[in-house]
Every structure is written in structure tokens, then in C-alpha cells.
Amino acid sequence: MTFAWPYALVLLLVAPLLLAVYLIMLRRRRRFAVSYASLSLIREALPKRSRWRRRIPFALLLLSLMFLAVAAARPQAEASVPMSRTTIILALDVSRSMCSTDIEPNRLAVAQQVAKTFVADQPSGTRIGFVAFSGGAQLLVPPTTDKKQLTTAIETLTAGRGTAVGTALLRSIDAIASINPNVTRVDVDPGGAAARSLPPGGYQPDIVVLLTDGATTQGVAPLKAAQQAVDRRLRVYTIGFGTPEGGQLVCSREQLGTDVFMPQFGGGGAGRFGADGPPRAALRIDEKTLQGIADLTGGTYHRAVDAPQLVEVFRNLPQQIVLQKQHIEISFGFTAIAAALALAATGLSLAWNRYS
């Protein structure tokens, strides 16, 4: 047990001082007591156990003052509790290949629905940030506990050109660094270096969950970005989504919108991509790289080829990551005990003094 205000423990000296005053008063009473011819007659007249009955209320009062003195020092107990400030950054691929209809209605629509369910199922104290990436990466929602804001951002995603897994990782690290002082920001320049790396030790409680259906076509090399996560002791959980065969690329009206990374490419209705669509290499999941990212950072790689598998992957992601040591103030308990002792002392004194 520790104390927030240890100097307040000086108040414990009040109890022995009061005890000394009490003993002095008892001696003075004996010194000036009236002498009687027969003390045996006085003893017979006194009620049984009157002496210790007089002492108990005072003893309880002293104990009450001692508990109050300890409460004033604000005692704190150390306990292991689940980390309630865990941050999860969800990085979702919104490249044009996510409009593949091999998973109906298309990959992006299914990923959006599963992501919304994942957000809704998280404990209320978990902060979630949301990064969308195609040819670039953008932090759409900084880490927050506002599930409505996250759901709105997920619902309004639009498809873009290219796939930049490495850039998405760096954006995710920066998002965590904005609220966790133990994580430093990174230089998103492909040739840049980390500002500094933390010494070896346990993982941070924050994680990155990255979902993609293709291979990197531009931006920072994914494994180089993963090393930045390693330096900051952040785990990355990667998900490869889609069937090996793929399907026709058809975006819904809502998914066409204005590309936040490139100029607008869609019209008013559902969009179908032809010769100007993504290269075939971008449609194949780079499982080797995704597995490498997970292995480097201490996370895991998962493959999902349909909606039920993706739901299961998200369900099995860690929610309570670590336990943390936390100091819990317990001064209320000492105050309650002090109040109970004081009430007991008062009650016994009133009850017994009538017969003492």
C-alpha cells in the first residue's frame, strides 16, 4: 500500500497524545478522590465491569482517529486491471479491386458491414481509429470511443486507385502516437527514418488491424513500414480478403463517390471497370508480405474468402490486450471504518454511562 499524501500520517500522533492526556486525567482523579472509611462498600456499590466499560468507548474513539489519519494520507492499493485505454487502428483497403463481386454484393460492402459490427462489439472504453487506403492513406477518424462517428465513416467509404499498404501502416502508427506518449511518430517519406526507437520490452497495448485484398502498387514498402511498428513495439494483425479467382469489379452508387486520393473516376450509377482498371497483380493477395508483417510485429495473419470467415477473423482479434498495474485509492474504506468506530464509541458511551 502506498500513500498519495504521506505527510498526513503525522496526524497519527494525535492518538497517543490523547491517550497520554487521558491517563494524566485518570491519575488526577485518583489523587483528588474523596477518602472513604471502607473502600469495599464502594466497590460493592459499583456496577459490574464498570471500569472496562468506561475504557472501551475511548479506545474506539482513538481507533477512529487513527483510521481518519490514514484516510487523510490517501492510501492507494496496487491492482492488476484490464487495460481500458487500448487503441485499435482499423486500416481498410478501399482500392478498386475491393469492388470485386466474388463475395456478394462485393468485397468492400462486406468489409464495411463486418467492420461496423466489430466496432459495435468493442468494450465502451476501447478507442478505435479508422484509416482508409488505396493509392494513399488517410486517417478518417482519429482514435475515439464515439462508435457513431466510426460507423458513419465506414458507411461513406469510396473506392480509389492503387494500393499502399506500407503508407497505411505508417498512418496507423502516427494515429497511435497522437495519444500514446510511448509511441513516436514516423516519417512517411519512403526514405525517412524513425525519430527514435524504444528500448526492448513488452508490447504496447495498442494494435493495428489491416485488411487488404491485393498487393502493394505504390508508396512505402510494407515490410519497411512494419519495421517502424517493431521499433515502437506495436503489433499488426493482417487480413487477406477475397477468393483466388476474383470476380467482376462492380461498385455501387455509394462506393463510386469522389476518390480522396485521385480525381473522380465514377459516374452516377454503378461502375464497371474495364481496360483502365487495376492491374491483375494488384488483384492477387500478397500473402507472403502480409504474413511477414504479422511475423515481424508479433501479430497474426488471417485469410478470409467469404463473409462468414471474415466475421470469424474479426471476432477472434484480441480485445483485452494486456493487464496494467493501477493504483486505486482506498481512503473511502478507511473513512467508513473511522465513522463506524466513532458511532460505536458514541453509542456505547451513551448506553453504558447510565449505569457506570
In this structure, the answer to whether residues 17 and 105 fall within a common structural domain is no
In this structure, the answer to whether residues 263 and 124 fall within a common structural domain is yes
In this structure, the answer to whether residues 108 and 68 fall within a common structural domain is no
In this structure, the answer to whether residues 134 and 258 fall within a common structural domain is yes
d(CA 30, CA 51): 14
pLDDT at 128 over 70: yes
In this structure, the answer to whether residues 90 and 66 fall within a common structural domain is no
Work out the average pLDDT over 97-116. 95
pLDDT at 119 over 60: yes
Work out the average pLDDT over 140-157. 96
In this structure, the answer to whether residues 272 and 210 fall within a common structural domain is yes
In this structure, the answer to whether residues 61 and 90 fall within a common structural domain is no
In this structure, the answer to whether residues 119 and 134 fall within a common structural domain is yes
With beta carbons less than 8 A apart as the criterion, state whether 104 and 143 touch: no
**What cell numbers appear for 315 in the block?**
471476432
High-pLDDT (> 90) share of the chain, %? 44
With beta carbons less than 8 A apart as the criterion, state whether 82 and 320 touch: yes
Work out the average pLDDT over 2-16. 80
Domain span at residue 306 reads 84-321
pLDDT of residue 283: 61
3-state DSSP: the chain helix, strand, coil percent, rounded to 5?
45, 20, 40
In this structure, the answer to whether residues 91 and 209 fall within a common structural domain is yes
**Tens of pLDDT along 17-70?**
887 887 777 676 655 555 555 555 555 555 555 566 667 877 888 888 888 888
pTM of the model: 0.63
Q: Which residue has the cell 495473419?
A: 301
Helix pair angle (287-297, 222-231), 10° resolution: 10
Task: Give the model's confidence band at 194: pLDDT under 50 very low, under 70 low, under 90 confident, else very high.
Answer: very low
Helix (H) or strand (E) holding 7: none
In this structure, the answer to whether residues 198 and 103 fall within a common structural domain is yes
In this structure, the answer to whether residues 69 and 128 fall within a common structural domain is no
Q: Which residue has the cell 492513406?
A: 137
**Tens of pLDDT along 200-222?**
557 888 999 999 998 999 999 99
The CATH number of whichever domain residue 151 belongs to comes to: 3.40.50.410
Cα-Cα-Cα-Cα dihedral sign, residues 296, 115, 133, 285: positive
Work out the average pLDDT over 277-293. 76
